[in-house]
Each structure stands twice: as structure tokens, then as C-alpha cells.
Structure 1
Amino acid sequence: MLSCATIRTTTVPQSGEELSRQDIHLQIRYTFPQEALRLLRQSGFEVMHTYGGWKKEPLTSASPEMIFICRKAG
């Protein structure tokens, strides 16, 4: 499991005064395509399309990303 932390701040451009701060902590666990499909179906989703990238490339073992287009079944 991978842990990530992001800090997002909003500041006033002229003075640099901080208006807001948001700390975001994520736990990321990578999955294989077959596991992702199983988890989506178990959660009640119908998988419409799968892609290996945002340009709708086929999902292969060399794909840099996994994109699933789903809709809630039922």
C-alpha cells in the first residue's frame, strides 16, 4: 500500500497571506485488471468499457493506466 500526502493552500497574490489550507492523506493500493473488474462487479457496477489510457487505448499488460467506464447496475 502506498501513502500520499498533498497540501493545498490558497493565498492572496499580492501579500502571500494564506486564506485556506487543506491537508489530504491518501492510501493507494494497486490492483490487477481482473481484480478491479471483480471489485466493480461485486459493488454493483456494470463495466461498459475498459481502456489502457485516456485516449481509449486497449487495456494490455503494458498499459500505463486502467480506465473503467461503468454504470450502476439495476
Structure 2
Amino acid sequence: MSVKFETNSFSRIKVLLTLRGLRQIDAARKLGISSASFSDKLKGDIRFSADEIAKLADLFGVSTDVLLGREPLEVV
């Protein structure tokens, strides 16, 4: 059984962090930014760049379309 998450991209990133057992600092390091900047991006105060979205997709093993909400986030 799969569960589909119809959420915004910020919520999807939070869900994926939890599912992958990662912390925000882990993702921030992957992006080469501070944890404070990553937190601001998750809150929507600062936008993620296209390069950052691509790196997060690689980190989580999902497509950029999933992160951007063009495809559903499915958890099996």
C-alpha cells in the first residue's frame, strides 16, 4: 500500500528528511549552506535554487518533479 502526500515542496522536504533519517544539518551540508539558511528556505523566507532542488532530489532519491509538487510523493 502506498500513501500519497499532496503537500507543498517545503513539507515534502520535511517528510523526506524524516523518512530518510536525515537532519536539516545533513541536507544543509549537502547544499553547502548553513543550517539557518536551510531553515529559512524550509519556511519559505528564501527560495531554493534550481541547483539546490537538484541536489536535494539526488539526496532523497526522488525526481525534482516530486520535490516541486508536479508528481505525488508516494511512500510505499
Q: Same fold (TM over 0.5)?
A: no
Q: TM-score, normalised by structure 2?
A: 0.29
Structure (1 or 2) with the larger CA radius of gyration: 1
Q: TM-score, normalised by structure 1?
A: 0.29
RCO comparison, higher one (Cα < 8 Å, 6+): 2
As a proportion of its length, which structure holds more helix? 2
As a proportion of its length, which structure holds more strand? 1
